[in-house]
Chains A and B, each alone.
Chain A
Amino acid sequence: MTTPAGDNIIEARGLTKRFHGFSAVSGVDLDVRRHSIHALIGPNGAGKTTFFNLITKVLQPSEGTIRFNGEDITDESPARVARRGIVRSFQISAIFPRMTVAENVRIALQRPTGVSFRFWQSERTLSLLESRVDELLDAVGLLPLRDQTAAGLPYGRKRALELATTLALEPELLLLDEPTSGLGGEDVERISALIRQVAANRTILMVEHNLSVVARLADKITVLARGKVLAEGPYSDVSTDPRVIEAYIGGDE
């Protein structure tokens, strides 16, 4: 583990991403405090998902730098960034559909063990991981379904499985891309509770549309609009900020 450099786990400076001359994200500075839940909100097209893709290096920024624990990660590959401990979830549930629920989690647990290139060993050597698999599945309420094929799970359960898989990597920074999108009321409650539960000793950066979820969970909120930071602060401040209201509801003509 790298030694924490200050209180910020992520420091983005002047982050910009241009597509065909159009700036989806322009000059964003963002600090994410260690052990906080930080939410990114904003109207459609504000650049939230692009920002996420920049942090996880799925996209290469046109300008700007990203520091993680004080180290510059701007030019690293997505897999390298993941190995550093920045792990993301996806807007559409990202599972391995034809693997069992347990295998889904195990594939994540397997990665830090360093045995993944061993093509000459039986997969039974992975049985060491089973107890941890069960712990994680239990935490998200999926233990009874461990041997089912993931594709057969209901949508809400798939999101839970994705979260368990993500947690298996013990990420220092967890990026959640709309964790409650497409879920019904009950599932939203379950996933929110889960997020709060896993936030202990961890940092979470989330994009979320459901504002009641954001209001309840987030310590700090950054509002993006047109690719720029519009406002930042706790929910009570942000929700009464006239600029934010204007961005959401529209200003005077």
Chain B
Amino acid sequence: MSGLSVRDLQGWYGESQALHGMNFEVARGEVVTLLGRNGAGKTTTLRAIMGLLRKRSGEVRFGGENLIGRMPEYIARRGIAYCPEERGIFASLTVEENLFLPPVVAEGGMALDDIYTLFPNIAERRNSQGTKLSGGEQQMLAIARILRTGATLLLLDEPTEGLAPVIVQQIGTVIRKLKERGFTVLLVEQNVRFASRLADRHYVVEHGTVIDTLTAADVAGDFERIQNYLKV
């Protein structure tokens, strides 16, 4: 398959090992989540895939090519787009500048009009400074700007974090539409209820490894099981 395949991915922050051999697959067109508590290694996994975590080993295959050892700019140009946890909206750029920042890496990206239809708020505020947006708008912008580029795999890190329920709902709608359009999505989440309504499959992460895999059907049948992994 020509999706993403991660094998025995290990990663380090300095001397502290954060990933202890992650294994998972994301097939083309799927929405897959990495679930887990704070500090389990979910964000680190995305950073390692993207090449932002330099000290890493194992295998990250995308479109058949192993991306371990590659620089972030190379990985991005293979068609992977990244939306970081802290959203990464550039304070010194306007909304529109933020939107146009990621270069087009392949054909088939979304047209600007489509993006503005999907995110009406962004269209309204296109000339404001990036950081003048509310948290929800910033999150929308962070997702919106990686849709233009033609990337087919989206890495979304906790898009619902710190957002009000109504916004969370909107983001859920957006991700569903992206799936319909054929995007492949790897989603990091703590909000299980949110994730359970979107994803085809869930990987539960703890201590830098995948400790369980659940299908959408598993979760629908037995929400307790997944809740037990994550509850307080």
Contact for A211 among B14, B194, B227, B232, CB less than 8 A: B232
**A226 contact set on B, CB distance < 8 A:** 162
A45 and B190 in contact (CB under 8 A), knowing A182-B18, A253-B169?
Answer: no
* Alpha-carbon separation in the docked complex, A161 to B16 (Å): 16
- Residues in chain A within 8 A of chain B (CB atoms): 20-22, 41, 43-46, 92, 155, 178, 181-182, 209-211, 225-226, 238-239, 244-245, 248-253
8 A-B contacts, Cβ less than 8 Å apart?
A41-B232, A43-B162, A44-B190, A178-B39, A238-B232, A253-B165, A253-B169, A253-B194
The total of chain B residues at the interface (CB under 8 A) is 35
Chain B residues in 8 Å Cβ range of A21: 131-132
How far in angstroms is the closest Cβ of chain A from B160?
A: 7
Q: Which of B142-171 contact A (CB under 8 A)?
A: 158, 160-162, 165, 168-169
Given A92-B16, A182-B18, A250-B194, 6 further pairs, Cβ under 8 A: A44-B158, A46-B162, A182-B13, A245-B231, A245-B232, A251-B193
Asked whether, in the complex, the Cβ of A239 is within 8 Å of the Cβ of B131, the reply is no
Chain A binding surface SS class:
loop
CA distance A253 to B167 in the complex (A): 10
B162-211 contacts to A, CB under 8 A, are 162, 165, 168-169, 172, 189-195, 197
Partner of B16 from the list A43, A182, A249 (CB cut-off 8 Å) is A182
Residues of B within 8 A of A (CB): 13-18, 37-39, 85-86, 91, 131-132, 135, 158, 160-162, 165, 168-169, 172, 189-195, 197, 227, 230-232
**Contact indicator B39/A181 (Cβ below 8 Å):** yes
Please give, as numbers and ranges, the residues of chain B lying within 8 Å of A20 by CB-CB distance. 91, 131
Chain B nearest CB from A201 CB (Å) reads 30
